[in-house]
Chains A and B, each alone.
Chain A
Amino acid sequence: MSDEGSFYQRDRSWHPPAFTPQYKTSILRSPQYPLLSLGNTASEMTGPVFGHDEIGPLDNDLIRNFAKTGDPIGQRIIVYGRVLDENARPVPGALLEFWQANAGGRYRHKKETYLAPIDPNFGGCGRTITDGEGRYWFRTIKPGAYPWPNGVNDWRPAHIHFSVFGHAFAQRLITQMYFDGDPMIWQCPIVQTIPDKAAIEQLVAALDRSVTLPMDALAHKFDIVLRGRRSTLFENRMEGN
């Protein structure tokens, strides 16, 4: 496996720009100077690794990992997929962390003010590490949509937040997963920070009835793509493209 070359430059037109006035908080939190193009040094091409031994058996089961008196309220779902790089190679050993609101759209957080109730059996966090083929899965309940202070009537579509560690700090990524068929995706100022419709669709998980657990949980497939490495032509063997 080619794990040597520097990473493809990030396509900044595919990502949201820093300054997106329809998402008001970005106005004062967006750098205004251009980024300094650095390319990769050893400081960016290395990154922390996490062992499967750091992960507990319930860490990828949000239905059970906080439950006190029973299962959390809500539609039971499985989220699964692969972490790949831009060369479509699997990224094994990637740490994924995820967090979400409960079925009513309420987060377990002291700054959260939405009137929907806290679910005593739902914490809202989980994590897992991809296997040798870059695969992951976890079980949870489907999060609810929630209102947020931006415009006077802005709502977030149902979503799950993801934090991903690949093999290098240059691959570090935080994003969100949305659910297929949700009309609210296209009305959300945060989703709309992404300029390209095809890029938004890359964050919409597909309902996958072939993986659904009958009489138990629906399944949604969500693949994540991290930056890929260049082949080091000439200096090295050409591999894998």
Chain B
Amino acid sequence: MVQSLRRLKESPSQTAGPYVHIGATPNWVEITGVWKEDLGLVLVGPETKGERIILKGRVFDGSGIPLKDALVEIWQADSDGLYNSPQEKRGKADPHFTGWGRQPTDGTTGEYRFETIKPGRVPYPDGRLMAPHITFWIVARGINIGLHTRMYFGDEEAANAECPVLARIEHKVRVPTLIASRPEENGMPTYTFDIHLQGEKETVFFDI
């Protein structure tokens, strides 16, 4: 017998199930009076620095139907590319921006929607800058372990072209699955990021 490394194993994941909203966004499923406000609904306030944007989209299953019972979380840097986290070692992030959001997909349309800001660029471990991006985490009934992906910005062609993460995608035809288009909606820049769990347009998901 060799010496043991004595590490623990990570607790195995189990699906969030159809009722994840009871725990994550109880007010949204009409369980009111337990706590005042669901966490993660609001990312920005009047003092938050950076360009205000809307982020929306749907999560599609392999048959092309949008999920109406999913939960979408986002995590992003502030407008200077800093994360509001004690683990952030590069500087102090905007105190008026949490960087974390959580929204259910709508029970009728399947759409999720965040009001946030466009993040700045964050360095890759080797120092090169990644293109501005927003990390997504998706859970739902039928998803056995939460799915990580990233949304990139369609109007950042130059930064996207030199992003070391996008460059690692071997099948270049799949890169557009991570890039959100930017139409205006009522004068507000609105990025649409649809996520495809499966099928021809399957989104690139990451093992991080």
Task: Give the size range of B's interface with the partner.
Answer: 35 or more
Residue pair B61, A41 in contact (C-beta under 8 Å): no
The complex places the Cα of A65 from the Cα of B33 at a distance, in Å, of 8
The complex places the Cα of A174 from the Cα of B208 at a distance, in Å, of 16
Q: Of B6, B19, B141, B208, which contacts A170 at CB under 8 A?
A: B208
* Cβ proximity bits B4-25 to A, threshold 8 Å, 1 near / 0 not: 0011111111111111111110
The complex places the Cα of A56 from the Cα of B34 at a distance, in Å, of 9
CB within 8 Å for A110 and B29 given contacts A16-B145, A50-B39, A172-B137 = yes
Residue pair A43, B16 in contact (C-beta under 8 Å): no
Query: What chain A residues lie within 8 Å of B100 (beta carbons)?
Result: 47-48
Residue pair A29, B10 in contact (C-beta under 8 Å): no
The complex places the Cα of A65 from the Cα of B174 at a distance, in Å, of 47
Residue pair A40, B208 in contact (C-beta under 8 Å): yes
B contacts, CB < 8 Å to A: 6-24, 26, 29-31, 33-35, 39, 61-63, 67, 69, 73, 75-77, 83-90, 98-100, 122-125, 130, 133, 135, 137, 139-148, 150, 165, 168-169, 174, 197-198, 202-208
Query: What chain B residues lie within 8 Å of A36 (beta carbons)?
Result: 168-169, 204-207
A187: CB under 8 A from chain B? no
Residue pair A3, B169 in contact (C-beta under 8 Å): no
Residue pair A87, B144 in contact (C-beta under 8 Å): no
Task: Please give the number of chain A residues whose Cβ is less than 8 angstroms from any Cβ of chain B in the complex.
Answer: 89
5 interchain residue pairs of minimum CB distance: A25-B142, A99-B23, A48-B100, A46-B85, A29-B142
Residue pair B20, A99 in contact (C-beta under 8 Å): yes
The smallest C-beta distance from A95 to any residue of chain B, in angstroms, reads: 8
